[in-house]
Structure 1
Amino acid sequence: MPIKKPATKKVAKKTAKKVVAKKTIGKKVAKKVTKKVAKKSVAKKTKSKTRVLVCASPDNCFWTTDGQILQDLNELQIALSAMEEAVFNYHVQADKNDFANWVEAVLDDADCAFELRSATAPNEARSIVVRHLRTYNF
């Protein structure tokens, strides 16, 4: 009797593809050497505090309708923080702005006066004055 051999599965072998390196023909391209340049930081331009706070003479002080007497921008910003709307509206109307006129003529700050002309409320005028006070030395 013949001996039976166990059946074996035949598995097809996968052949790997050969990778052929491509040869470069001709001149080699030289790599460009680039220098890394550090970015220069640009200093932010800031206004230097060179202005001196102008204090009005007694005849040029600002008198508000509620009796306050103001001599400089610092006193104006303090007064504006507590000023009632009626007092502010007396000095600031569509055809006039007493605060801006005084700041421009007496305190000699045309930039602040220009911005004050657009203020329609005491707190808005105060924020403008505070911003301009930062440019003064005192």
Structure 2
Amino acid sequence: MAPRKKKSISEPKGSKAPKKTTTKKAAAGNSKVNVTFFSDVPNDVGFGLCDGTQLLNLLELSDALLRMSDDVFFYHVRHDANDFSNWIRDIHKDEKLAGILSLCQSREEMNHYLLRYLLEQMKK
């Protein structure tokens, strides 16, 4: 029996995510930030939800997507901007994941693609 090929996640229709960059600098101050998928970012570059919740890593984002109201989600995801995608691109320096999540229109869809991406990264 032939070995199974690893599947990569499929992106939402119409997505063309840019290639991942490797530079890891904080948005403010140009100090280097050591960011991994599962470690906390420094408090000063964490994601502050409009309800006061502070997110410091991508697993916390996943958990928050399950718990937040649609009002909170749509405060941060609008037709002209996606704050979650921007945070992932600017702080976590992951263009591919940011591109995928920028196309998501619901909490469930965003969490689905976020978790699939994180699982794929764990397998590497």
TM-score between the two structures when normalised by the length of structure 2: 0.68
Residue 63 of structure 2, aligned match among 63, 71, 78: 78
SS at match of 1:80: helix
Q: Which residue of 1 aligns with 2:47?
A: 62
Which one has the bigger helix percentage? 2
Q: CA RMSD in A?
A: 1.9
SS at match of 1:41: coil
Using the TM superposition, give the Cα deviation of residue 101 of structure 1 relative to its aligned residue in structure 2, in angstroms: 0.3
Q: Distance in 1 between matches of 2:57 and 2:78?
A: 22
Aligned equivalents of 1:87, 1:97: Cα separation in 2: 12
Q: CA contact under 8 A between 1:91 and 1:98: conserved in structure 2?
A: yes
Which protein is bigger by CA-based radius of gyration?
A: 1
Instruction: Name the count of aligned residue pairs.
Output: 95
How far did 1:85 drift?
0.5
Amino-acid identity (%): 32
Match of 2:2 in 1: 41
Gaps of 5+ in 2: 9-35
Using the TM superposition, give the Cα deviation of residue 110 of structure 1 relative to its aligned residue in structure 2, in angstroms: 1.5
Quote how far apart the aligned CAs of 1:96 are.
0.5
1:58-101 CA-partner distances (Å, limit 9, x unpaired): 10000001111101110000000011111111101011100000
* CA apart distance, 1:55: 2.5
